[in-house]
Structure formats: C-alpha cells, structure tokens
Amino acid sequence: MKQLVYYFVDLFTFKQLNYLKEFNKLDKLTIEELKQYQLRKLKFNLSIRSWKEFYNLPITTKQDLPEVPNAGKEYHQHETSGSTGEPRIIWVPKETWYRKDAIFTRSWTRMGRKSSDKVFRLMAGEPKYAWYDFWRNVYPSNYRNITQDTIDKFLKLKPKYIHGPGGAIRQLCEKLIEQGHLDALKRVNIEWCSESAEGHKERLEKFVNSFHQQYGLAELPTVGSPDGEGNIRVVMEQGVVEILDDNNKPVKHGEEGFIVVTDFNNSVTPIVRYKCGDRGKMKEYVGKDGLKYYIIYDIVGRGVDYFYGPEVKKPIGWSIVSPISHILGDKISKWRVEVDVKARKVILYVKFIDNKKHKFSDLSEYTQWIKDTYGLDTDYKILEEEKYDIYFKNKLVKVINNE
C-alpha cells in the first residue's frame, strides 16, 4: 500500500520514477550502445556532432567555468564542497537532482535493497522533502548535527542501508560502536558517497553487512555508482568519463591518469571535457549477468582522516573543512588542513587569490569557527605551489600526533 501511495505522490511531484525507469532500461545496454546514446545526447544538448569533434575539444578546468549561468532554463545554484581544495560555484538544471536521486535508488537496488527496506540518508542541512521520502522508506537526517537524537532515531528505525558522505557515515558508525550497538550495525549496508574510503572501509567493514562506494562530483553527479559486486560502475548514461595522462592523451585501460568528465545534460554551466583534479583508473568489467561495463577504481581524490578524543569538542572529519568554501572562498583559491592533536591546533595551508590584497588576518572568521566548534586554535601557512600536486591533495584533512 505504501509503495502504491509513493507512486502517486511521485507522479504529481518530482517524477523521479520516470528517470528510474529510464535508467533501468539503459542499465541493460552494452558499452557500444551506451556510446551511441551518449553521442545522441551530445548532439541534442551541446550541439557536438561527432566523436571526432568531441575529442578535438580542449580540456577545461575550474578556471574555464562561466561566472554566471546560461539563461533560458530553470536551474539550481550549487557550491562545490571544495573536495580538491578548490571550491567553486556552478549551476545545474533543476532536473539534475531528480536524475541523481534516481541513480541512488538504482544503486540501493543493486546492493540488494527491497522497497520495504529502510534507508537512513545523511544529508547537509535539515531535510526539505521528508514527507516525500517517507513514502519510499527513506529517512533523511542532517549530518551536520549528529546527536544522541540521531542515534535514537536510527535505532528505532532499524534501517538496512546508510547512504551519505563518508565523514558523516564514519561519525554515525563510531557513535554506534562506542555505545555498543553492534547488532544494529550488523544488518547495515553502507553506500559511501565520498571519493576516498582509504582507512575508513578497513575500520567499518568488519562491523557491517556490506560496504559499497560511489564516486561523484558537483560538476557531474554521478560519475560512478555501486554495481553490487564491490565495484564503482561508470554511469555512462549520465556523462562521458575519460582517463587522460599529463599531456591530455588517453591512457590504456587500467593505467592511472586524470579523471575528465562531460555532463551532456547541463547547458546551464557547460561541463565539457572537464579535468576535475582527481586521478583514477578505468577498465572493462564483466558482471555476474555477463554484461560488460566500465568500472572506475584506485581513485585519488578527497581523503579525510577521522579522530575523536578528549582533545576536541566534536569528531574531526569532513565537517572541519566543509565551511571553507562558504566563508573563505572569496579570499583563498586552494587549501589543505592538518590537525595536530597533541598541540590542540588546526593548521590551514592556503593559497591566496591575491597575495597583495589578502593576509592571514582576513581568515579570522574561520579561526573563531574552529575555536567555537572544536575548541582548537588555528595557525595558517602558505601553501607552496610546487608541493600542491594531486597526491598532496589526496589527504585534505590529515590528523597528526594522535597517539
């Protein structure tokens, strides 16, 4: 009955089930059939007429993105999280979020979810559409405010799935482990929505039923989603994904290079052959059903350490850097964080947008926020250009002296 009500609620509101139906059909296509689908999208939405024309287009970066959205279409403004240390504002069509959410729903199905299974979804801010999610057994919760009430809600719901940013999932799970709720975790299947699960998967996998990972960007949601077999399957029906070397030439399958993406659905902020800053590998994989598809793996992207002890007011994780793009985005262009637990100090490495215009004293708002939120002092250091490579960025939040 509940599923039937959800069908009608969706029909007269977000119409996400239409996207889900389409994605389920595309899920059964071969790689070559999906490439034909991609080309049709490139022609229709971006006026790119052939693959030859597409591969002759220049590689773009954050600096090439437009400063204002293209007019003529309803859109949402979205600030990137700054996961590569370089925050940016982009604009996406309104339907992007419905399409992305349909991909999430499909991911849960691949992970073994039945419609009656509950999903505990961690999200930024207070949920706006909890009334809608209720009918599909999805229960959103604000990950910026994980309290005892959050734990109590989780235990009462008894969800089989946790979906959300990695740092928030780690914080929630650590609280459950600390309080001895191991039986509640045993039934849980995690969808880790952050680039790097290094260390976190090793810590949590032994407590949960299964651990899955997806890979996405603000510029292309979603690049890859769980295939249910432990891999991140490239979502070819959402965009074009390339792996290129330092000279912007394609690497062989299985070789590491820069991840370059194209969102053929976004004409508001065109994302065309966009080098996102992350690195990774891609190759063909044969699924259990015999169908070949691409998987992306060994991703070098956002790496965030986790720490919680008496030295800090709240757990150290992704939340320690989440406000950087909001309160410092007009002053710094790149950043990286170290937390010295023994010294009870945060060290923020920064590159100023304008060295003549900006100085460390301009960052006092972040200093106060760190003090109020974590009870730590803050030091600032200049980020040396020659040290700011992809491997340096791979550990955006590094905790030191914590033993």
Largest Cα–Cα separation, the chain:
64
242-247 long-range Cβ contacts below 8 angstroms, 24+ apart: 242/273, 243/280, 243/281, 243/282, 244/59, 244/275
Is residue 385 in a domain?
yes
Q: Specify if 79 maps to a domain.
A: no
Residue 323 falls inside a structural domain: yes
Q: Does residue 3 form part of some domain?
A: no
CA atoms within a 13 Å half-sphere pointing along the CA-CB vector of 346: 26
User: pLDDT band for position 196 (50/70/90)?
Assistant: confident
Domain assignment of residue 357, given as a range: 318-400
Classify residue 239: in a domain, yes or no: no
pTM for the complete prediction? 0.83
Question: Does residue 203 lie within any of the structural domains?
Answer: no
pLDDT band, residue 353 (cuts 50/70/90): confident
What pLDDT does 396 receive?
Answer: 79
pLDDT value for 249:
96
369: how many CB neighbours lie within 10 A of its CB? 15
State the sign of the Cα–Cα–Cα–Cα dihedral 240, 244, 250, 251.
negative
Angle between helices 16-26 and 95-110 (to 10 degrees): 50
What is the tally of structural domains in the chain?
A: 1
pLDDT tens-digit series, residues 364-395: 999 999 999 999 999 999 887 645 455 555 67
231 — pLDDT class (breaks 50, 70, 90)? very high
Give the domain CATH number at 379: 3.30.300.30
More confidently predicted of 24 and 301: 24
Q: Using DSSP bridges, classify how beta strands 89-93 and 75-79 pair: parallel, antiparallel or unpaired.
A: antiparallel
Q: Which residues of 286-304 are buried (b: 16+ CB within 10 A; e: fewer)?
A: eeeeeeebbbbbebbbbbb
Please list, in sequence order, all residues whose beta carbon lies within 8 angstroms of the beta carbon of residue 222, skipping any fewer than 6 positions away.
100, 103, 104, 214, 215, 216, 235, 238
pLDDT in tens, 164-176: 988 889 999 999 9
Domain-embedded: residue 147: no
Q: Does any domain span residue 128?
A: no
